[in-house]
Structure 1
Amino acid sequence: MRAARLHEYDEHLNVQLQLEDVPLPKITKPGEVIVRIGAAGLCRTDLHIIEGVWKDIQDPQRTLLPYILGHENAGWVEEVGPGVTSVKVGDPVICHPLRSCGVCLGCRRGEDMYCEHGSFPGLNCDGGFAEYMLTNERALIKLNPNVAPVDVAPLADAGITAYRVAK
C-alpha cells in the first residue's frame, strides 16, 4: 500500500513526508479492524510531531521512525477480526484517535483516555496517512451511509473529544 511516512524530525518543518510502498496492515487480534482510509485530516499535532516537540517522550530511542502520521481518519471497513460484531465490511466509519483495550481499570471506569494499553495512531503507532490503517472495533463510530469520510475526518479529534465532554 502507499503511505506518507516521516523519516526525521525537524523543528523548522523543512522535511517532507515520503510517499512509499509499505506492507498492508494485518489483523492479529479478534477485535481488530482494517479501515480503507477515505480521508485523513492534518492536525497541528501532526506538525508538532514533525517538529520533534514530543520526540523525547513518544520516541526516546528513535525507534518509531520512519512511521505513518495521521490521527484524524475516516473511511470504510475493509476487513474485520473474528470477534468484531458492531461493524461489517463496507461500513463507513470515523476512527477515534485512541485505541483502547476495554478491559483495564481506566476503560472499565469509562475513562478510556487512561487506558493502560492504549495506542494513538500517528503518535505511537502507524496512522492514517496511508491507504489502510489498523485499528480496533472500540475506536470506530459507524457513519450514516450518506456522510462522506472527507467531510468528517478532521472531526475525529476535535469533534469526538468535544462530544465526549458534552456527553
Structure 2
Amino acid sequence: MSSHADIPLEWLTIVEQSFPAQWLRFSRWGYASVNTLHVLGVALLVGAIVPLDLRLLGGWASLPLKPLASLLQHVALVGLLLALPSGMLLFAIRATEYTSQPLFLVKLSLVALALFNALVFKIAFSPTRHPILSRFAAGTSLVLWPTVLVSGRFLGFVAD
C-alpha cells in the first residue's frame, strides 16, 4: 500500500518507529525542544528573507544593499539549517499521516521551489547587473516563503 506521496507504507512505518521518532513522541521536553527549534528556524528564515526581498523590490532604498543582503542571507541560512533537520524530525513522528495529506506535498513543493529560486538568485543574478531578474526573484521569494510558512502551520491542523 502506498500513500499519496508514493512512498511505501513500510518505509513510513520504519521512520515512525525509529528511535528519534519514538523519543519525540514520548518525551515532552524532546518534542517541545525540537518544535521550538523548528519555529525559531522558520522565524529566522522568513524573518530575514522578507525584508531582503522588500529591499530588492525597492523598499528602504537608503539602506546599502550589499551589507544588508550579506547579513540577512546569513541569518536566513542559520534559520534554514535549524528548520530543515528539526522539520524532518517532526515529520518522523507522523510520517504516514503527513504523506497522505495533499497539503504536505504542496508544502514540500513550495520549499523546493523557494530553495531553487534562492539558489538561482544567489548563483546567477547580481542586483546591480540584473535588476529586473533580481526583482522577479525577490517577488517570487516574497510569495513562496510566507506560503510555505502558512501551509506548514495549516498542516498541523488538517492532518489527523
- TM-score in terms of structure 2 length: 0.26
Bigger CA radius of gyration: 2
Higher strand share: 1
TM-score by length of 1: 0.26
More helix by share: 2
